[in-house]
Each structure stands twice: as structure tokens, then as C-alpha cells.
Amino acid sequence: MPTFFIDAFIFLAKLFCAMEYFPVFLDLKQRRCLLVGGGDVATRKGRLLAKAGAVLRVVAPEVSAELRDLVAQQQGELRECEYQSSDLDHCVLVVAATDDEALNAQVSADAKARNLPVNVVDSPALCTYITPAIIDRSPLVIAVSSGGDAPVLARLIRAKLETLIPANYGKLAQLASRWRDRVKARFSDTEGRRRFWEKILQGPAAELTLNGQTDAAETLMAEEIQCDDVTITRGEVYLVGGGPGDPELLTLRALRLMQQADVVLYDRLVSDAVMELVRRDAERIYVGKRRSEHSMEQDNINQLLVDLALQGKRVLRLKGGDPFIFGRGGEEIELLAQHQVPFQVVPGITAASGCAAYAGIPLTHRDYAQSVRFVTGHLKSDNANLQWPELAMPGQTLVFYMGLVGLRDICETLVSHGRAATTPVALVEKGTTPQQRVLVADLASIADLVDAQEVHAPTLVIVGEVVLLHRQLHWFNPSP
């Protein structure tokens, strides 16, 4: 054999044998585990062992109150004395968590002599196993390890996974467990079972479970298992709020649904950064609107949602801000409900909250405003038929959505109904994004200031004394 191939074989062998630790999940329920140490580190280890159902035997001269409680809850043993090798008797697992290096080394040596798995905190060389960073969605458990070389990195990866994996994935695993035998009986071949579970775990039954609707999920499972066709045939609509622009303001559920949708209907106010997080191969349909310029009429959007769902597709209706605050979300799901199309609504951070926070303007404040009102700059008929006498009352904050075009009329009308012309006003342009700009004046002068600038939607207008706090509290300073 040529030397080149020998060298390549040795390289590949090293590459595939480079795993420092073999990942194993141990069943510790009702099994005795020795924990040497009684301080904060030992207490953290005790929590993990107790969560796994272990019976704790804790040995240390001094033991924290929390660790004492854990021992009592698990009906374990507490030995407030110095460690002895006999403490290992009848144990299946050992943890040394003291600040005495010599003692830790002794515990490790004694455990290895008995072929007991042992972990010494922060001393990989003394360990026969290490504790990974854990994402617990029991019975689904995910472990992340760096082999002890970079524990902080492992924890950071764990944090990222925590945001991507919903808490109710444990319930989804339980659903699969309850139906496992029936599915096995229904589909005799492995391929059929695989296709069925792919359909279930990506379809409405999974969504019902993740939303806590376990009874409805069970009913749907009973229907699905009788179907001969194991392809996904039942569609669903996700009405999701995309927030005011910053993708980091998305909810965890919004991100999950964005990643699994087959087709996306999105608005003009959904930022490019948010759209980047949508599933790459999803079909994208732009249905945005500008004033007097609609790429698709609202009735057509409503019907398209129904049609796509009835085709068996998972449809993401992605809106800027929150779909139930001036987002026409209610109109869209009314038609879905009439056609019995499954849907779910995921709220988003509305522009008022997001833009005000990024501009450093609290919408309520004990010294300035005891209430806040969200107001549309134009109604369905495009006439701002508002209760102006109420809006002109002092002691409240007004937030106008879609108020750029009618800004001068809004200000003049408020003043004519009694609101002081010196009332502070802020216009937030492209709030929460790197292009954010805040213009501050008062009711008498804000329209002239905006006319002198090149201002583009989306904008938000905030009226009230709380605007005075912008100069002091602004914190978000995007680069020009």
C-alpha cells in the first residue's frame, strides 16, 4: 500500500478517535451516590443528582442548609465528619467537590480502585467522567461538553440551545412515548414508522402539545394513526408578531415557527434582519402596504391564508410589531376560524413599547403620566375620527401609529382641544434598528422640524411630558 494512503488512514483514524469522552446517560433513580463536600459547589452538584432521582450520601464536616434539605427530601444520608474510604460502600457514583486538593485526589484514587465512576470538580485529570452542561426537557435531555477544556463555552452553547428548544418538548417526548407501541403495531415496517413520526413531530399534533393542549393532541393522534397517507395533509397558520425591527426582540416561539413554516406572507414593516431568520427554503410572498398603495388587498390576504392552509401548508403570517395592535390580525384569523383552519397567535413587541424603550422614553412615569393610549393615525376609512377632547387631557402619554403624514393635523387638533402647545413630542424613525433617529420638539414645532428633515416611515409619534426624559435616559446610540 502506498505511503500516502497509509498516512491518510492514520490521519482519519486519529480524527475519528479524537472523542475525549464517551457520552452516557446513567439511570440513578433510587441509587446511592456519594457526594464529598458541603459547600456551594457541592450543593450545585447535589441539586443535579437529586433531580436525577439519586439517593444522596453527603460527607463533610460542614454542610449547607440547602444540601441538608436535599438529603432529607431524597431520604439520603448525612455524615458530618471527615471522609473515609468506607463511605464508598454501596455507592454507584462518586462526586468530590471540596477545596482540599489532597482530599479530592484521595477520593478519586479510592473510587478508581473500586471501578466506581468519579468526578472531581475542576480537576479533569482526576475524573473518570465529567458533568456536561444540560438542557433538561425531561424525558428529553441534551448534554453539551467540551471535555473539560472550555466549560464556559459549553455553557454558552447550552444557553443558545435553551432559547431554541421550547420547554414543552418534554411533553412532546411523553406524547411519543405514550403512542410508541400503537404506532409500532400500526406500521410494521421501519420506514412507515419513520414517516409517520416525521409527520406528527412537524405537524399540528406537535404544535398542540407545545401549546399545552395535550387532550387535543391525543385526539388528533387517534385520527392520524388511522390515515393511510403519512404525508402532512393538514395545514396551519401562524400569526406572528415580528416586533419593531430588532431581531433580538423576537419571542422564542416566534423564532421556532419562523424556522418551520413552508410559506411566509410578510409585511413592509418586517425588517430585513427579522426576515433573515425565516426558514431558508420557505416560499416568500410580499403582501405589504403603504398609504394608498397595497401590493395585495386585505380581503385577498385573508383568503390566501385559508387557501394555503387547506393545501396542507404551514403558513407563517409575519407582521411588524404585534398582530393585534393596529395589525389587522383579528380580521385575518376571523376568516380562518370560519373555515375551521387551525391557527395560533404569537404576540410581538409592539412599536410603542419597542421604540419608546430604545429612545429612552418611559411611556408612564409617576411624575409625568399615569396612563398611556395607543392611537392610530388613520382609521379603516382613513378619517382620524378620534375622541379628541379625551386625548387632549393632561397627565397621559399618547402614542400615534402611522402618524407621519397627518402629523401637523394631529398636533393642531390636540392644541385646539386644550392640550398645551408646549407639550413635548418625539418622533421616532425606524425605531430599534441601526437607522433609528429621534426628533424632539413640542406640539407647536414638531411638524416644522419633521418637514425640514428627510423622514421616512416607519415612524412613531409620542406626545407627553415623558418625552422630557429622552435626553437623560436615551441609551441606544446606533452608528450613523
Residue ranges at the known binding site: 40-41, 61-62, 244, 320-322, 325, 350-351, 402, 431
Q: Contact at 8 Å (CB) between 469 and 280?
A: no
Q: Tell me which DSSP letter residue 53 carries.
A: T
- Do 352-473 and 169-224 fall under one CATH topology? no
Give the domain ranges of the chain.
32-131, 169-224, 236-349, 352-473
Per the model's pLDDT, the better-predicted residue between 480 and 415 turns out to be 415
* pLDDT for the residue numbered 407: 94
Percent of the chain whose pLDDT exceeds 70? 91
Distance CA 148, CA 146 (A): 5
What are the binding residues for NAD(+)?
40-41, 61-62
Q: Which residues are catalytic?
A: 267, 289
Q: How confident is the model at residue 224, as a pLDDT?
A: 87
pLDDT per residue as tens digits for the range 278-297: 988 899 999 987 655 556 89
Mean per-residue pLDDT over the chain, rounded: 89
Give the single-character DSSP code of 202.
T
Closest CA to 127 of 154, 92, 96, 82: 96
pLDDT at 455: 94
pLDDT in tens, 137-188: 888 899 998 887 788 888 889 888 887 788 888 899 999 999 999 999 998 8
Residue 449 — left, alpha, or beta (φ > 0 → left; ψ -120 to 50 → alpha)?
alpha
Q: Please tell me the least confidently modeled range out of 89-103, 212-226, 395-409.
A: 212-226
Residue list for the binding site for S-adenosyl-L-methionine? 244, 320-322, 325, 350-351, 402, 431
- Residue 23 confidence (pLDDT) above 50: yes
| 169-224, CATH topology level | Helicase, Ruva Protein; domain 3 (1.10.8)
Q: d(Cα 75, Cα 203) in Å, to the nearest integer?
A: 43
pTM confidence score: 0.70
pLDDT of residue 309: 93
339-364: average pLDDT: 96
352-473: CATH homologous superfamily? Tetrapyrrole methylase, C-terminal domain (3.30.950.10)
Predicted confidence (pLDDT) per residue in 414-463, tens digit: 999 999 999 999 999 999 999 999 999 999 999 999 999 999 989 999 99
pLDDT tens for each residue of 58-73? 999 999 999 999 999 9
Q: Is residue 55's pLDDT more than 80?
A: yes
Q: Cell for 221?
A: 393522534
Residue 379: what pLDDT? Answer: 44
Of residues 194 and 60, the one with the higher pLDDT is: 60
CATH homologous superfamily, domain 236-349:
Tetrapyrrole methylase, N-terminal domain (3.40.1010.10)
| Residues contacting residue 338 through CB under 8 Å, at least 6 positions apart | none
**Model confidence band, residue 12 (pLDDT cutoffs 50, 70, 90):** very low
Place of cell 456519594: 34
Q: Considering only residues 68 and 19, tell me which one the structure prediction assigns the higher pLDDT.
A: 68
Q: What is the pLDDT of residues 75-86, one digit of tens each?
A: 999 999 999 999
239 compared with 168, residue with greater pLDDT: 239
pLDDT in tens, 312-351: 899 999 999 999 999 889 999 999 999 999 999 999 999 9
Tell me what percent of the chain is helix, strand and coil, each rounded to the nearest 5: 40, 20, 40
**Which of the pair, 12 or 459, is modelled with greater confidence?**
459
Tell me if 243 sits within 8 A of 211, measured CB to CB. Answer: no
Q: Is 286 helix (H, G, I), strand (E, B) or coil?
A: strand
pLDDT at 38 over 90: yes
Q: How far is Cα 284 from Cα 262, in angstroms, rounded to an integer? A: 9
Give phi and psi for 221, each to the nearest 5: -60, -40
Decide: 343 and 270 in contact? Cβ < 8 Å: no
- Percent of the chain's residues with pLDDT above 90: 67
pLDDT score, position 54: 95
CATH topology of domain 32-131: Rossmann fold (3.40.50)
The C-alpha cell of 157 is what? 452553547
